[in-house]
Structure 1
Amino acid sequence: MDPGSSLSFDNHYFVNLKAHQGMFTSDATLLTNGRAANIVDKLQDPGVFFDTFKNSIKRMGQIGVLTGANGQIRNKCNVVN
């Protein structure tokens, strides 16, 4: 949700957010919470943004996904079938 660079993957969402150019009310709310605003400040730095994203993807890769008979496709994502 970044109108300035919608065709590329970058940190401009956070740069725009800090410039009060968020698209949604929930975006602006990130600036009103001290902890969240601190994260927005840090993620304006491209190096920090990409390192943080990389680490998040690595952690997601360690999630044990259940497959076959052990897994399930949920009818509602927040309710176990």
Structure 2
Amino acid sequence: MTVGRSKLVRDVLHLYADYMRLSRQVQGLRDIARTEFKQYKHLKPKDNLIYIEYLLRRGKSQLATLQGQGVKSISLSSKPREQ
């Protein structure tokens, strides 16, 4: 018997897939998105539900901005902080 994923997990995976699709058009987005998702993969919904929902809303908002602005390239100006 397989256990289904929670709606929150599905939403996060769907957002990641959306970023990967957009990264085909926006140079540099793939590495930034991977880094960002890896940075927070240790969060468990049981203990961090509100924070994960916040990150999900922020990610959706940033994705909509990137899609709507016609961005062709993106880069980081500094190294992401370690947690």
TM-score (norm 2): 0.33
Higher relative contact order (CA 8 A, sep 6+): 2
Between structure 1 and structure 2, the one with the greater Rg is: 1
Structure with the largest fraction of helix = 2
